[in-house]
């Protein structure tokens, strides 16, 4: 950096938090991207059996296709797909 004072040349795009120098420093958008409510895909709260139609509550963190239908034992799918 010129003069070793830590300022350096202006560079980057203002407001994006990218680039070198004072132009793009500290002016980013904030805490990242994503849904404000943190609800993920937001499609459904139920898993449904494609064969017999049995409907069960979707268990958070476990994909529907890894759950077995309580009636017929087939793999479930997320409702609405």
Evaluate whether 14 touches 1 at the Cβ level (below 8 Å). Answer: no
Residue 60 corresponds to which tokens in the numbers above?
């958070």
DSSP 3-state assignment of 75? Answer: strand
Evaluate whether 40 touches 29 at the Cβ level (below 8 Å). Answer: no
Q: What is the pLDDT of residues 1-44, one digit of tens each?
A: 556 676 766 655 555 555 555 454 554 555 555 454 444 555 57
Has this prediction a pTM greater than 0.75?
no
Higher pLDDT pick, 26 / 57: 57
With 50 as the cut, is the pLDDT of residue 80 above it? yes
């Amino acid at each position: 950096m010129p003069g070793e004072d830590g300022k350096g040349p202006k560079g980057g795009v203002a407001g994006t938090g990218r680039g070198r120098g004072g132009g793009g420093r500290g002016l980013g958008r904030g805490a990242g991207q994503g849904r404000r409510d943190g609800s993920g895909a937001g499609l459904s709260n139920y898993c449904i059996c494609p064969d017999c139609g049995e409907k069960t509550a979707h268990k958070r963190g476990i994909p529907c296709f890894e759950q077995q239908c309580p009636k017929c034992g087939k793999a479930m799918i997320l409702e609405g797909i």
